[in-house]
Amino acid sequence: MPVRKGVETIDYDVVVVGAGPVGGFLARRMCEGGANVLLLEEHSQIGRPFQCAGLVNPDAMRLAGLEGTVLTPIWGARIHSPSGIPVVIGNEQQVRTWSVCRKLFDEGVVSQGVDAGADLWLSSKPESADIVEDRVHLSVRTPTGIESIRCKLLCGADGAHSWVRRRFRMGRPRELMVGFQVEVTGYKGEEGRLDMYTGSTISPGFFAWAIPSGDTTRIGTWSKPDLMGGDSCEQLLDRLRAEPNWKDRFSGCEEVGRFCGPIPCGLVRKPMSERVVLFGDAAGLCKPTTGGGIGPGFKQVELLVPILL
Protein backbone atom coordinates (compact mmCIF):
# COMPACT_ATOMS: atom_id res chain seq x y z
CA MET A 1 0.00 0.00 0.00
CA PRO A 2 1.33 3.47 -0.77
CA VAL A 3 2.28 5.94 1.93
CA ARG A 4 -0.39 8.60 2.26
CA LYS A 5 1.62 11.80 2.01
CA GLY A 6 0.61 14.95 3.82
CA VAL A 7 -1.32 13.16 6.56
CA GLU A 8 -0.53 14.49 10.03
CA THR A 9 0.76 12.29 12.82
CA ILE A 10 -2.03 10.96 15.03
CA ASP A 11 -1.46 11.24 18.79
CA TYR A 12 -2.58 8.74 21.43
CA ASP A 13 -1.68 8.25 25.06
CA VAL A 14 -1.46 4.47 24.64
CA VAL A 15 -1.18 2.13 21.66
CA VAL A 16 -1.96 -1.54 22.35
CA VAL A 17 -0.73 -4.00 19.71
CA GLY A 18 -2.87 -7.13 19.68
CA ALA A 19 -6.65 -7.27 20.16
CA GLY A 20 -6.88 -10.61 21.92
CA PRO A 21 -8.48 -10.91 25.36
CA VAL A 22 -5.50 -9.44 27.23
CA GLY A 23 -5.11 -6.57 24.76
CA GLY A 24 -8.83 -5.85 24.85
CA PHE A 25 -8.94 -5.89 28.66
CA LEU A 26 -5.84 -3.68 28.80
CA ALA A 27 -7.45 -1.16 26.44
CA ARG A 28 -10.58 -1.11 28.58
CA ARG A 29 -8.70 -0.49 31.82
CA MET A 30 -6.54 2.21 30.25
CA CYS A 31 -9.61 4.01 28.91
CA GLU A 32 -11.38 3.72 32.25
CA GLY A 33 -8.34 5.43 33.78
CA GLY A 34 -8.67 8.37 31.39
CA ALA A 35 -6.17 7.44 28.67
CA ASN A 36 -6.72 7.90 24.94
CA VAL A 37 -6.13 4.42 23.48
CA LEU A 38 -5.61 2.88 20.04
CA LEU A 39 -5.99 -0.91 19.73
CA LEU A 40 -4.30 -2.52 16.71
CA GLU A 41 -5.19 -5.98 15.34
CA GLU A 42 -3.39 -7.49 12.36
CA HIS A 43 -6.25 -9.83 11.46
CA SER A 44 -9.52 -8.82 9.84
CA GLN A 45 -11.69 -10.12 12.70
CA ILE A 46 -11.46 -10.61 16.44
CA GLY A 47 -11.03 -14.12 17.82
CA ARG A 48 -9.52 -15.66 14.69
CA PRO A 49 -7.27 -17.52 14.23
CA PHE A 50 -8.04 -19.61 17.31
CA GLN A 51 -4.93 -21.05 19.03
CA CYS A 52 -6.01 -21.88 22.56
CA ALA A 53 -7.65 -24.55 24.68
CA GLY A 54 -10.35 -22.00 25.51
CA LEU A 55 -10.20 -22.02 29.32
CA VAL A 56 -10.98 -18.95 31.44
CA ASN A 57 -10.50 -19.15 35.20
CA PRO A 58 -13.13 -17.81 37.62
CA ASP A 59 -11.18 -14.65 38.55
CA ALA A 60 -10.80 -13.64 34.90
CA MET A 61 -14.47 -14.41 34.21
CA ARG A 62 -15.53 -12.18 37.09
CA LEU A 63 -13.51 -9.33 35.62
CA ALA A 64 -14.89 -9.85 32.12
CA GLY A 65 -18.48 -10.66 33.09
CA LEU A 66 -18.96 -12.72 29.92
CA GLU A 67 -20.71 -15.77 31.32
CA GLY A 68 -22.82 -15.88 28.16
CA THR A 69 -19.78 -17.15 26.24
CA VAL A 70 -19.43 -20.26 28.46
CA LEU A 71 -19.84 -23.60 26.71
CA THR A 72 -19.14 -25.87 29.70
CA PRO A 73 -18.35 -25.28 33.37
CA ILE A 74 -15.47 -27.53 34.42
CA TRP A 75 -15.28 -28.58 38.05
CA GLY A 76 -13.06 -31.66 37.92
CA ALA A 77 -10.55 -33.76 36.06
CA ARG A 78 -9.49 -37.33 35.41
CA ILE A 79 -5.71 -37.58 35.28
CA HIS A 80 -4.55 -40.75 33.55
CA SER A 81 -1.16 -42.35 34.14
CA PRO A 82 0.69 -43.97 31.21
CA SER A 83 -0.54 -47.36 32.44
CA GLY A 84 -4.15 -46.17 32.31
CA ILE A 85 -4.77 -45.72 36.04
CA PRO A 86 -6.87 -42.56 36.62
CA VAL A 87 -6.74 -40.08 39.50
CA VAL A 88 -10.18 -38.45 39.74
CA ILE A 89 -10.43 -35.01 41.36
CA GLY A 90 -13.01 -32.25 41.69
CA ASN A 91 -16.21 -31.18 43.39
CA GLU A 92 -19.38 -30.43 41.45
CA GLN A 93 -20.10 -27.53 43.80
CA GLN A 94 -16.91 -25.65 42.85
CA VAL A 95 -16.24 -24.62 39.26
CA ARG A 96 -12.48 -24.60 38.63
CA THR A 97 -12.53 -23.09 35.15
CA TRP A 98 -14.86 -22.28 32.26
CA SER A 99 -14.62 -23.66 28.74
CA VAL A 100 -15.66 -20.77 26.50
CA CYS A 101 -16.26 -19.98 22.87
CA ARG A 102 -13.06 -18.04 22.33
CA LYS A 103 -14.38 -16.01 19.40
CA LEU A 104 -17.35 -14.76 21.42
CA PHE A 105 -15.21 -14.23 24.52
CA ASP A 106 -12.54 -12.27 22.63
CA GLU A 107 -15.17 -10.20 20.82
CA GLY A 108 -16.85 -9.45 24.14
CA VAL A 109 -13.65 -8.30 25.85
CA VAL A 110 -12.57 -6.15 22.90
CA SER A 111 -16.06 -4.65 22.64
CA GLN A 112 -15.78 -3.61 26.28
CA GLY A 113 -12.56 -1.80 25.42
CA VAL A 114 -14.20 -0.03 22.47
CA ASP A 115 -17.24 0.87 24.59
CA ALA A 116 -14.85 2.38 27.15
CA GLY A 117 -13.45 4.65 24.42
CA ALA A 118 -10.66 2.80 22.61
CA ASP A 119 -10.25 3.11 18.85
CA LEU A 120 -9.93 -0.28 17.12
CA TRP A 121 -8.11 -0.70 13.80
CA LEU A 122 -8.46 -4.13 12.18
CA SER A 123 -6.12 -5.50 9.49
CA SER A 124 -3.50 -3.10 10.84
CA LYS A 125 -0.03 -3.75 12.20
CA PRO A 126 3.06 -1.69 13.00
CA GLU A 127 5.96 -1.74 10.58
CA SER A 128 8.38 0.35 12.62
CA ALA A 129 8.56 1.87 16.08
CA ASP A 130 11.19 4.12 17.67
CA ILE A 131 11.42 6.09 20.89
CA VAL A 132 12.02 9.76 20.15
CA GLU A 133 12.42 11.92 23.25
CA ASP A 134 9.23 11.41 25.28
CA ARG A 135 7.13 9.56 22.68
CA VAL A 136 7.05 6.32 20.72
CA HIS A 137 6.74 6.98 16.98
CA LEU A 138 5.08 4.21 14.96
CA SER A 139 4.47 3.55 11.31
CA VAL A 140 1.31 1.44 10.99
CA ARG A 141 0.19 -0.37 7.87
CA THR A 142 -3.61 -0.19 7.48
CA PRO A 143 -6.00 -1.23 4.68
CA THR A 144 -5.89 2.35 3.35
CA GLY A 145 -2.16 3.01 3.61
CA ILE A 146 0.57 3.84 6.11
CA GLU A 147 -0.39 5.92 9.14
CA SER A 148 2.03 7.79 11.39
CA ILE A 149 1.19 7.36 15.08
CA ARG A 150 2.75 8.89 18.17
CA CYS A 151 2.06 7.69 21.73
CA LYS A 152 3.33 8.03 25.29
CA LEU A 153 3.18 4.28 25.96
CA LEU A 154 3.39 1.29 23.62
CA CYS A 155 1.95 -2.00 24.92
CA GLY A 156 2.68 -5.33 23.27
CA ALA A 157 -0.15 -7.82 23.78
CA ASP A 158 0.66 -9.49 20.48
CA GLY A 159 1.27 -13.08 21.44
CA ALA A 160 4.07 -15.60 21.66
CA HIS A 161 5.98 -14.20 18.66
CA SER A 162 5.42 -10.57 19.72
CA TRP A 163 6.49 -7.97 17.16
CA VAL A 164 6.84 -5.37 19.93
CA ARG A 165 9.12 -7.65 21.95
CA ARG A 166 11.35 -8.35 18.95
CA ARG A 167 11.45 -4.72 17.83
CA PHE A 168 12.74 -3.52 21.19
CA ARG A 169 14.91 -6.59 21.89
CA MET A 170 13.25 -7.38 25.19
CA GLY A 171 14.29 -11.03 25.30
CA ARG A 172 12.40 -14.27 24.81
CA PRO A 173 10.22 -16.47 27.02
CA ARG A 174 12.37 -18.98 28.89
CA GLU A 175 10.57 -21.82 27.14
CA LEU A 176 8.51 -22.00 23.97
CA MET A 177 6.50 -25.17 23.54
CA VAL A 178 4.37 -26.24 20.59
CA GLY A 179 0.84 -27.56 20.83
CA PHE A 180 -1.56 -29.23 18.45
CA GLN A 181 -5.31 -29.48 19.05
CA VAL A 182 -8.34 -30.85 17.23
CA GLU A 183 -11.99 -30.14 17.94
CA VAL A 184 -14.18 -33.23 17.65
CA THR A 185 -17.67 -34.54 18.13
CA GLY A 186 -18.33 -37.97 19.61
CA TYR A 187 -15.72 -38.06 22.39
CA LYS A 188 -16.77 -40.28 25.30
CA GLY A 189 -15.98 -38.04 28.25
CA GLU A 190 -17.62 -37.17 31.52
CA GLU A 191 -19.72 -34.03 31.95
CA GLY A 192 -17.96 -31.35 33.96
CA ARG A 193 -14.58 -33.10 33.95
CA LEU A 194 -11.67 -32.70 31.59
CA ASP A 195 -9.33 -35.59 30.86
CA MET A 196 -5.54 -35.32 31.17
CA TYR A 197 -3.30 -38.01 29.67
CA THR A 198 0.37 -38.51 30.50
CA GLY A 199 3.19 -40.51 28.97
CA SER A 200 6.40 -39.96 27.02
CA THR A 201 4.91 -41.43 23.84
CA ILE A 202 1.98 -38.98 23.68
CA SER A 203 3.29 -35.78 25.32
CA PRO A 204 6.91 -36.12 26.46
CA GLY A 205 7.55 -34.01 29.55
CA PHE A 206 4.01 -32.63 29.66
CA PHE A 207 0.45 -33.90 29.15
CA ALA A 208 -2.37 -34.24 26.63
CA TRP A 209 -5.95 -33.14 27.22
CA ALA A 210 -9.58 -33.58 26.29
CA ILE A 211 -11.62 -30.52 27.27
CA PRO A 212 -15.42 -30.53 26.98
CA SER A 213 -16.69 -27.51 25.05
CA GLY A 214 -20.44 -27.77 24.65
CA ASP A 215 -21.34 -30.10 21.80
CA THR A 216 -17.66 -30.74 20.99
CA THR A 217 -14.43 -31.64 22.77
CA ARG A 218 -11.00 -30.06 22.30
CA ILE A 219 -8.31 -32.75 22.22
CA GLY A 220 -4.68 -31.74 22.17
CA THR A 221 -1.11 -32.44 23.15
CA TRP A 222 2.00 -30.33 23.62
CA SER A 223 5.69 -30.66 24.28
CA LYS A 224 9.06 -29.05 23.60
CA PRO A 225 10.76 -29.77 20.27
CA ASP A 226 13.90 -31.11 21.95
CA LEU A 227 11.84 -33.75 23.78
CA MET A 228 9.90 -35.01 20.77
CA GLY A 229 12.61 -37.04 19.09
CA GLY A 230 11.79 -35.71 15.65
CA ASP A 231 8.08 -36.48 15.92
CA SER A 232 5.38 -33.90 15.21
CA CYS A 233 2.59 -32.93 17.61
CA GLU A 234 0.17 -34.47 15.14
CA GLN A 235 1.95 -37.80 15.47
CA LEU A 236 1.77 -37.54 19.27
CA LEU A 237 -1.96 -36.90 19.05
CA ASP A 238 -2.42 -39.91 16.77
CA ARG A 239 -0.68 -42.06 19.38
CA LEU A 240 -2.93 -40.68 22.10
CA ARG A 241 -6.03 -41.72 20.17
CA ALA A 242 -4.61 -45.16 19.39
CA GLU A 243 -3.47 -46.00 22.95
CA PRO A 244 -5.21 -49.27 23.98
CA ASN A 245 -5.91 -48.02 27.52
CA TRP A 246 -8.37 -45.40 26.30
CA LYS A 247 -8.76 -45.66 22.51
CA ASP A 248 -12.46 -46.57 22.90
CA ARG A 249 -13.14 -43.00 24.02
CA PHE A 250 -11.91 -41.73 20.65
CA SER A 251 -13.52 -44.38 18.47
CA GLY A 252 -16.56 -42.28 17.51
CA CYS A 253 -14.75 -38.96 17.12
CA GLU A 254 -15.12 -36.81 14.01
CA GLU A 255 -12.92 -33.75 13.54
CA VAL A 256 -14.54 -30.38 12.97
CA GLY A 257 -11.40 -28.27 13.28
CA ARG A 258 -7.68 -28.30 14.03
CA PHE A 259 -5.33 -25.71 15.45
CA CYS A 260 -1.59 -25.45 16.12
CA GLY A 261 0.38 -22.80 17.93
CA PRO A 262 3.25 -21.85 20.24
CA ILE A 263 2.91 -21.92 24.04
CA PRO A 264 5.27 -19.48 25.83
CA CYS A 265 6.23 -19.93 29.47
CA GLY A 266 8.58 -17.93 31.67
CA LEU A 267 8.86 -14.14 31.78
CA VAL A 268 11.11 -12.48 29.26
CA ARG A 269 14.24 -10.74 30.47
CA LYS A 270 12.81 -7.22 30.08
CA PRO A 271 8.99 -7.13 30.15
CA MET A 272 9.22 -3.36 30.67
CA SER A 273 11.56 -0.81 29.16
CA GLU A 274 11.41 2.88 28.34
CA ARG A 275 7.80 3.60 27.26
CA VAL A 276 7.26 -0.04 26.18
CA VAL A 277 5.52 -2.79 28.20
CA LEU A 278 4.73 -6.42 27.30
CA PHE A 279 1.56 -8.17 28.43
CA GLY A 280 0.32 -11.76 28.47
CA ASP A 281 1.88 -14.25 26.07
CA ALA A 282 4.15 -11.52 24.66
CA ALA A 283 5.78 -11.26 28.10
CA GLY A 284 5.90 -15.05 28.54
CA LEU A 285 3.26 -14.68 31.27
CA CYS A 286 1.42 -17.96 30.81
CA LYS A 287 0.58 -20.85 33.14
CA PRO A 288 -0.18 -23.64 30.68
CA THR A 289 -0.30 -26.27 33.44
CA THR A 290 -3.09 -24.48 35.33
CA GLY A 291 -5.41 -22.87 32.84
CA GLY A 292 -3.40 -20.92 30.29
CA GLY A 293 -2.63 -17.25 29.90
CA ILE A 294 -5.89 -15.28 30.12
CA GLY A 295 -6.11 -15.33 33.93
CA PRO A 296 -2.47 -14.30 34.54
CA GLY A 297 -2.75 -11.71 31.75
CA PHE A 298 -5.81 -10.10 33.32
CA LYS A 299 -4.09 -10.06 36.71
CA GLN A 300 -1.04 -8.39 35.17
CA VAL A 301 -3.29 -5.68 33.70
CA GLU A 302 -4.96 -5.08 37.08
CA LEU A 303 -1.54 -4.76 38.79
CA LEU A 304 0.24 -2.56 36.26
CA VAL A 305 -2.36 -0.21 34.79
CA PRO A 306 -2.68 2.05 37.88
CA ILE A 307 1.11 2.44 37.95
CA LEU A 308 1.43 3.02 34.22
CA LEU A 309 -1.38 5.59 34.21
Separation CA 133–CA 37 (nearest Å): 20
What are the structural domains, with CATH classification, of the chain?
10-308 (3.50.50.60)
pTM listed for this prediction: 0.92
Separation CA 78–CA 120 (nearest Å): 41
What is the overall mean pLDDT for the chain?
92
Separation CA 31–CA 69 (nearest Å): 24
pLDDT tens string 133-176: 999 999 999 999 999 999 999 999 999 899 999 999 999 888 88
Residues 257-288: b if buried by 16+ CB within 10 A, e if exposed: eebbbebbbeebeebeeebbbbbbbbbbbbeb
Q: Is the peptide bond before 49 cis (omega within 30 degrees of 0)?
A: yes
Check pLDDT > 70 for residue 194. Answer: yes
Q: Quick one: DSSP state of residue 8? A: P
pLDDT tens string 254-305: 999 888 788 888 889 899 999 999 999 999 887 666 667 899 999 999 999 9
Q: For residue 1, what pLDDT is reported?
A: 34
% of the chain residues with pLDDT over 70 = 95
Amino acid at 154: L
pLDDT tens string 212-250: 999 999 999 989 889 998 999 899 999 999 999 999 999
Residue 55: which residues within 8 A CB-CB, separation 6 or more?
74, 97, 98, 99, 100, 211, 291, 292, 294
Q: How far apart are the first and last CA of the chain?
A: 35
Question: CB–CB of 1/146 below 8 Å?
Answer: yes
Separation CA 150–CA 175 (nearest Å): 33
